[in-house]
Chain A
């Protein structure tokens, strides 16, 4: 996975300038937040489900090698071919090889963040294989050469008129209306033929059941069912962290995921399949177990909880930073609070050092997370690593000097006196609007209070000396 091309502050500043985007995002995140809150409140045992979900994922991480071997064995027994991929290139190679073996120049794909992460579409394109995105929003983005800004509603930054114009230029020249139902009908007609002709399907998976070898795809539109049922050959790529120990564990996640994600009691379609079923669905199933940085995340005792993520996107919708900047500012397949802790760990903190700072640490993400990932804690942990990895020498020297000043009352008093003199030309109406470089970074986005004329210590000692 590539890292961001620019820092989060740079990208965020640009995205914030797009008023349409901000309005769409504000509406969308508020709407989903409300829906989620309503259906979560319906369940009296929501907190118990979160505890169970969190513990199940921790259990998987604690014995991941055992569960992977169990999963592999169950899949093989069910007639699937299991592949292991250390990185994205190896996973893409499996898909290309399967497609070539069946003379397929097109594969139909159901939206999967994992395949975005490994840049499957671009890699296949280089080998003359077209990966057709079949999720409504992904289709829009693919037709437009754009990329996703939200895990759940990737085209959240496009409105209906833009979509109508795009369809008119591409798949439906005759389309007249921008009614959502008409737009959906156009996509249905366009994709139906492609589904019926497809030789190879590609999917991710929301869960893999170690005990049985069952794969699970959770979706709304039915394109997931199409891709995993119609083509005679299916390749499913699953991150090694997506396992759950038993079939019964699904009773927890199938309650947590839809309510957290789309704010529905249940998503329209959940497909569960175990290897190859005679005369029903694909007769050739390949399952790719993908590492691609996950074992690196697993090494970090604090950071590894990022691997518990079930990709619901609840943390995005409650995040005050995400709901203003949108997903593009994160420069990563995984945006929002979860992206801010997952991406730097997957690709190395030195390749995304500003992402852990893309947060106000308000903690709303932790409260919303259905598997209780303590995102603020991991953010702080990664900030420390980012400073150690990339911190500027001047910043470290300044911090050391500050520590020296704070260590002595006399030095602090002297420093305050000097600061009061130095700040005089900067104070306007009681606040400092702009500091000189290199300190201007602080005041670019906020005002600063000047050093008080009488500090707490001075006031306290004056108080003490005053006669009763």
Chain B
């Protein structure tokens, strides 16, 4: 492997293209697919919850002031006592009575010793029941939402958009110029490799709990 491989591959590509059309003459890509889902926002929030549920993730709508108690209840239900949190999880989200371990470069092995993790998200897609994380301060590093067995993800209902194109546009804006890693999560990890029977939970978190904060008014 050296620069001659590079030169040769590029030369092969150029030779293969030969007499074919140059990009200037190439017909423009038709983009008449839907760029947004025009349903009213409260319908999209309901759709998001339904679709997340289809993946056998738990989903719950909560009032903002109920969030810490709800998180505590979810953790108790899953027998989770030690929860990792990103370094800037909003104070008014944090539950009481649980051991919260802020991520200041925790090792993966240390995270493996945690019962779960609480994160926020950057965007959510109603049509596909997807949450998107971009390693923002309230989401943390990629490893955080990967290693612990329980992932509690907090979604503000205004973060929910209808379709995938809307989310991609939003993510491009959010990560603009920052090269942040993006993880799209749709339900708990799963395999259908054994006789096509779906099993939730292989290597990623086996339990995904999505809490949607209802905006007042």
Q: Does B181 contact A (CB under 8 A)?
A: yes
B52 to chain A minimum Cβ distance, whole angstroms, is: 11
Answer whether A291 and B142 are a contact pair too, CB < 8 Å, given A64-B17, A225-B204, A270-B183.
no
Cβ B9 vs Cβ A291 within 8 A: yes
Cβ B13 vs Cβ A252 within 8 A: no
Cβ B23 vs Cβ A266 within 8 A: no
- The answer for the CA separation of A180 and B191 in the assembled complex, in Å, is 9
Answer whether A247 and B141 are a contact pair too, CB < 8 Å, given A181-B199, A262-B192.
no
Which residues of B sit under 8 angstroms from A275, Cβ to Cβ? Answer: 179
* Residue of B whose beta carbon sits closest to that of A274: B179
A271-302 residues with Cβ-Cβ distance < 8 A to B are 271-275, 277, 279-281, 289, 291, 295-296, 298-299, 301
Cβ A59 vs Cβ B127 within 8 A: no
Which residues of A sit under 8 angstroms from B23, Cβ to Cβ? Answer: 59, 62-63, 66
A210-264 residues with Cβ-Cβ distance < 8 A to B are 212, 220-223, 225-226, 229-230, 240, 247-248, 250-252, 254-255, 262, 264
Q: Does A202 contact B (CB under 8 A)?
A: no
A84-138 residues with Cβ-Cβ distance < 8 A to B are 84-86, 90, 93-94, 134-137
**Interface residues as binary, A28-52 with B (CB distance below 8 Å gives 1, 0 otherwise):** 1001100000000010110011011
Cβ A273 vs Cβ B13 within 8 A: no
Answer whether A155 and B146 are a contact pair too, CB < 8 Å, given A84-B1, A251-B165, A275-B179.
no
Q: Does B130 contact A (CB under 8 A)?
A: yes
Which residues of B sit under 8 angstroms from A396, Cβ to Cβ? Answer: none
Which residues of B sit under 8 angstroms from A230, Cβ to Cβ? Answer: 108, 143
B127-147 residues with Cβ-Cβ distance < 8 A to A are 127-130, 135, 141-143, 146
Cβ A254 vs Cβ B146 within 8 A: no
The contact of A62 among B10, B22, B51, by CB within 8 Å, is B22
Answer whether A248 and B172 are a contact pair too, CB < 8 Å, given A62-B21, A222-B202.
yes
B27 to chain A minimum Cβ distance, whole angstroms, is: 7
Answer whether A298 and B181 are a contact pair too, CB < 8 Å, given A83-B1, A222-B189.
no
Q: Does A146 contact B (CB under 8 A)?
A: no
Most buried by B among A78, A187, A267: A267
- The answer for the CA separation of A223 and B189 in the assembled complex, in Å, is 9
Q: Does A68 contact B (CB under 8 A)?
A: yes
- The answer for the CA separation of A275 and B112 in the assembled complex, in Å, is 26
Cβ A277 vs Cβ B179 within 8 A: yes
Cβ A226 vs Cβ B21 within 8 A: no
Q: Does A459 contact B (CB under 8 A)?
A: no
Which residues of B sit under 8 angstroms from A281, Cβ to Cβ? Answer: 141-143, 181
Answer whether A90 and B185 are a contact pair too, CB < 8 Å, given A188-B202, A248-B172, A255-B164.
no
The contact of B10 among A27, A68, A248, by CB within 8 Å, is A68
Q: Does A192 contact B (CB under 8 A)?
A: yes
- Number of interface residues, chain B, beta carbon within 8 A: 74
Main secondary structure of the interface of B (DSSP, over half): loop
Which residues of A sit under 8 angstroms from B181, Cβ to Cβ? Answer: 271-274, 277, 280-281
Q: Does A364 contact B (CB under 8 A)?
A: no
- The answer for the CA separation of A315 and B65 in the assembled complex, in Å, is 50
The contact of A271 among B9, B30, B183, B189, by CB within 8 Å, is B183
Q: Does B162 contact A (CB under 8 A)?
A: no
B88 to chain A minimum Cβ distance, whole angstroms, is: 14
Cβ A268 vs Cβ B9 within 8 A: no
Which residues of A sit under 8 angstroms from B199, Cβ to Cβ? Answer: 180-181, 183-184
Cβ B142 vs Cβ A280 within 8 A: yes
Which residues of B sit under 8 angstroms from A191, Cβ to Cβ? Answer: 203
- The answer for the CA separation of A51 and B199 in the assembled complex, in Å, is 34
Cβ B16 vs Cβ A295 within 8 A: yes
A42 to chain B minimum Cβ distance, whole angstroms, is: 8
Which residues of B sit under 8 angstroms from A78, Cβ to Cβ? Answer: 179
Cβ B30 vs Cβ A221 within 8 A: no
Which residues of A sit under 8 angstroms from B130, Cβ to Cβ? Answer: 266
A163 to chain B minimum Cβ distance, whole angstroms, is: 6
* Residue of B whose beta carbon sits closest to that of A78: B179
Q: Does B31 contact A (CB under 8 A)?
A: yes
- The answer for the CA separation of A291 and B142 in the assembled complex, in Å, is 31
* Residue of A whose beta carbon sits closest to that of B34: A45
B183-207 residues with Cβ-Cβ distance < 8 A to A are 183-197, 199, 201-205
Q: Does B109 contact A (CB under 8 A)?
A: yes
Which residues of B sit under 8 angstroms from A58, Cβ to Cβ? Answer: 26
B114 to chain A minimum Cβ distance, whole angstroms, is: 13
* Residue of A whose beta carbon sits closest to that of B146: A225
**Interface residues as binary, B18-47 with A (CB distance below 8 Å gives 1, 0 otherwise):** 101111001111111110000000000000
A144 to chain B minimum Cβ distance, whole angstroms, is: 13
Cβ B141 vs Cβ A62 within 8 A: no
Cβ B142 vs Cβ A59 within 8 A: no
Q: Does A153 contact B (CB under 8 A)?
A: yes
B75 to chain A minimum Cβ distance, whole angstroms, is: 21
- The answer for the CA separation of A299 and B11 in the assembled complex, in Å, is 12
Answer whether A62 and B203 are a contact pair too, CB < 8 Å, given A251-B165, A254-B168.
no
Interface residues of A (CB under 8 A from B): 24, 27-28, 31-32, 42, 44-45, 48-49, 51-52, 55-56, 58-59, 62-66, 68-69, 78, 83-86, 90, 93-94, 134-137, 140, 153-156, 159-160, 163, 180-181, 183-184, 187-188, 191-192, 195-196, 212, 220-223, 225-226, 229-230, 240, 247-248, 250-252, 254-255, 262, 264-275, 277, 279-281, 289, 291, 295-296, 298-299, 301, 304
Please list the 4 inter-chain residue pairs (A to B) with the smallest Cβ-Cβ separation, ordered nearest first. Answer: A222-B204, A222-B203, A295-B12, A222-B189
Given contacts A62-B20, A254-B168, 17 further A-B contacts (CB under 8 A): A51-B32, A52-B30, A62-B26, A85-B1, A153-B193, A160-B195, A222-B204, A240-B9, A252-B33, A255-B164, A262-B192, A268-B185, A268-B190, A281-B142, A296-B16, A298-B12, A301-B20
